[in-house]
Structure 1
């Protein structure tokens, strides 16, 4: 969770209105030493996608998989594949 929160801080420094979610093996309780950490950023400011990705991947050394998408694509695509109990919004945890 600490890594995801650090990623969230970086994201919010670029786009304060973004919502950050943790999903995948870290939420399912199946995380292993070989796993990456799946983080989903949902933003209306999709033009900031590459700024977000570059800064996160430069600053975070742990294995993460960063997904940056719009609310519309989140609703139409990601929600089809991620079960409600397999995703946690971490935006409220970031200070």
Structure 2
């Protein structure tokens, strides 16, 4: 079974005209996502696997599947290492 993801409870998300801003309330650090990053984040936090998020990204932006998978993996790694996104059970 694949992992599910959720925002860290200490993270606030505010959508903007061109994506979103994430605030980690414990560290006070802000992170900005463009519209594509927000698309991937929403996909992952709605229960999609990284592979499903990559398929959505590839079809929405006419990208090769390998590029979409790499982009989703890179964003996922960044969000998790910054403690913005956590793997759920």
TM-score by length of 1: 0.29
Task: Return the structure number with greater helix share.
Answer: 1
Task: Return the structure number with greater strand share.
Answer: 2
TM-score by length of 2: 0.30
